[in-house]
Amino acid sequence: MTTLTSTTPSRYHSLNAFQFALAALAFGLVWTAFNGIDFSIDTILAAGPRVDRLLSQMWPLDFSSFGNLAKQLWITFLMAICGTTMGIIISLPLVLFAAKNLTPHPIVRFAVRGFISFCRTVPDLIWALIFVIVVGLGPVAGALAIMMDSIGFLGKFFSEASEEQDMGPQEACKAMGGTNLDVAMAVVLPSALPSFISDALFATEKAVRASVILGLVGAGGIGIELKVAMDLFQYEKAALIILMIFVLVVCVEQVSNRLRASIIGGN
């Protein structure tokens, strides 16, 4: 056996003061969180019988207004598609200013990044409330809310996908006299396209889920039907709506997953 000339490193190393303080802080935060909301196992256990009662009230499903619900679900889906499409169309040019490797100036990048962050940090429900006031009740307000949310999501992910691309071809393009726009369109876009499509599909899935909720504040779609059914204790109808939403979300996710797999697989 060969004699080691250096010491084998130990498996563990002790925390330094900063790491210890950080760990203590994290633990304290979690503890405060559970205490702050009066979380207790008793509350969860007491909910058992109520869940049982609710489920029994939800069955059998009420199919009497299935046609109208299907139409509202279709509108919900279209609202998501419209909002995401507008989000994609606006996000793509923003990448030219927000991505580090494409921006004409750091100040421009800072400003555009700020706008994208703003779109992302304001919750879609708040956007929906604003657009309901601005354009009135209905799916257009919902689509606009989804658009703002998609800009926040896609602007960030498109920019990051652009920044992750190999710099070699980009420098080669610049060396051949290419402008920033040439680099973006001839080099970055084809290279990052699979990521862009994958992100856009995620945004669509997210938008479909969000579009259901937006109806609660009057932004169109099936959400308002769900709210009314719950408010009127029509749990059989509410259960059907939940089931329909579930089927829609699962279908969109499945199609999205298959498309993503084929794109990432390079087909």
Partner 1 sequence: MGTNGNAVASAPVGNSTGAIPCALEVKNLRLTFPNGFHIFNGIDFSVNEGDKVAIIGRNGAGKSTLLRAALGMIPQSESDGEWLYGQQLHGIRQSARRKLLCQVGFVHQKHNLVPRATALTNVIHGAMVRHRPSCRLWSHVFTASKLRDEAMMWLERVGLGDRAMNNASALSGGQSQRVAIARALMQDPKLVIADEPVASLDPVAGEEIMSLFAELVSEQNATLIFVSHHLSHATSYSDRIIGVRDGRVDLDCLTGEKTLEELGDIYGDDDDDTN
If one asks whether residue 179 binds partner 1 (CB under 8 A), the answer comes out as yes
User: Which of 86, 125, 130, 186 lies at the binding interface for partner 1 (CB under 8 A)?
Assistant: 186
User: Which of 93, 104, 136, 190 lies at the binding interface for partner 1 (CB under 8 A)?
Assistant: 190
- 47 CB neighbour count, 10 Å cutoff: 11
Footprint of partner 1 on 218-257 (CB under 8 A) = none
Helix axes 139-163, 66-98, angle to 10 degrees: 40
24: CB partners within 8 A, 6+ apart: none
Instruction: State how far the Cα of 211 lies from the Cα of 196, in Å rounded to an integer.
Output: 22
If one asks whether residue 178 binds partner 1 (CB under 8 A), the answer comes out as yes
Choose the binding region for partner 1 from 83-91, 113-121, 139-147, 162-170 (rule: CB under 8 A).
162-170
Nearest residue (CB) to partner 1, 96 versus 239:
96
If one asks whether residue 101 binds partner 1 (CB under 8 A), the answer comes out as no
Nearest residue (CB) to partner 1, 36 versus 177:
177
If one asks whether residue 168 binds partner 1 (CB under 8 A), the answer comes out as yes
Q: Are 217 and 131 in contact (CB under 8 A)?
A: no
Choose the binding region for partner 1 from 63-71, 142-150, 155-163, 188-196 (rule: CB under 8 A).
188-196
Please confirm whether the linkage preceding 60 is cis (ω < 30° from 0): yes
User: Which of 30, 134, 193, 250 lies at the binding interface for partner 1 (CB under 8 A)?
Assistant: 193
User: Which of 160, 163, 182, 253 lies at the binding interface for partner 1 (CB under 8 A)?
Assistant: 182
User: Which of 145, 148, 173, 252 lies at the binding interface for partner 1 (CB under 8 A)?
Assistant: 173
- The least distance separating partner 1 from the CB of residue 163, rounded to whole angstroms, comes to 16
Consecutive H or E run containing 31 = helix 17-36
Closest listed residue to residue 156, CA positions, set 189, 190, 203, 191 = 203
15: CB partners within 8 A, 6+ apart: 23
**The pair of three-digit structure tokens given for residue 185, joined into one six-digit string:** 């369109």
DSSP 14: -
Residues that bind partner 1 (CB under 8 A): 166, 168-169, 171-179, 181-182, 185-187, 190-191, 193-194
